[in-house]
Structures are given as structure tokens and as C-alpha cells.
A = this chain, B = another copy of it.
Amino acid sequence: MADTVKQRITSQRRVILEELRKSVFHPTAAELYQVVRRRLPRISLGTVYRNLDLLARSGMARKLATGTGQSRFDANLEAHYHVRCIRCGRMDDVFSLPELILDDEVAQETGYEIQGHELQFVGICPACQQKSDMK
């Protein structure tokens, strides 16, 4: 009830969410900006950032830490994990794992009020493996 803010449905907001949902890429803000610009040529990068932040904070998208200085975004709210390529930065989904991770146990151990978790595998994607082989 503290954050009852009226949110308007602007064309920018709608297109950003639509394109984020379409993407299999987990795009960065800049990548999404390029895509959105094809439909809204006058949109600014700042607006993309503002809306991604809003979507993340209102739970309509996830902001993914990458350890590379830029964040990626994901509008798929299903429980799933990610795998990131340390060479090219690409990020893919991982669905196969059972729901193994028990937030409640961690709450008990640490005293934190746990809201969720993020599991990320790190490795080298098939395309980048190819490139190594060719050398």
C-alpha cells in the first residue's frame, strides 16, 4: 500500500515490454534499445532504463546480474535458471533442474527474510567452443 503509484500505459512502455517478452536473448538495456528503436525511432535510452527499472521493481521482469558491468533483463517469470558464456556474454535459459533450492532453510540459517534466489551457471557456449577449436 506504500507504493500505490498510478502507472500510465505509454506506447514506449508497452513496446519495451512486448519486445522484452519476444526476446530469447536476455538483452541488455542497450540491446533492447536498438530493437525498440525500430518501432519507436524517437525513443531515448534513458526511457528504456527507466522502464526496465520499473518493470523489475514491479515484478514484471527480472534484472539479471552478470558480473560484467552490465545487467540483462528477462520477462519470463517461470521458475528457471541461467547459463552465461564468459567469452561472448550470451545468456541462455536452463529449465531442466528440479526446484531444489529451499529459501526457507536459508532464512533459518541466516536470519534474512528471503525473497528469492538467482542461480547462474558459467561456462563457454557452443559457438565460442567452435571458435576455440578452429585455432
Interface residues of A (CB under 8 A from B): 63-69, 71, 83, 85-86, 92, 94-97, 100-103, 105-107, 109-126, 129
On whether the beta carbons of A118 and B122 are closer than 8 Å, the reply is: yes
A86 CB contacts on chain B under 8 angstroms: 115
In the complex formed, the residue of B with least CB distance to A107 is B123
On whether the beta carbons of B111 and A126 are closer than 8 Å, the reply is: yes
Chain A binding surface SS class: mixed
14 A-B pairs (CB sep. < 8 Å)? A67-B118, A69-B69, A83-B110, A83-B112, A92-B112, A97-B101, A97-B105, A106-B121, A110-B121, A111-B125, A116-B121, A116-B122, A117-B119, A120-B120
On whether the beta carbons of A120 and B121 are closer than 8 Å, the reply is: no
On whether the beta carbons of A94 and B114 are closer than 8 Å, the reply is: no
A67 to chain B, nearest CB (A): 4
User: A97-B105, A100-B100 known; A118 and B115 CB under 8 Å?
Assistant: no
Residue of B95, B115, B123 near A123 (CB, 8 A) is B115
A25 to chain B, nearest CB (A): 15
A64 CB contacts on chain B under 8 angstroms: 67
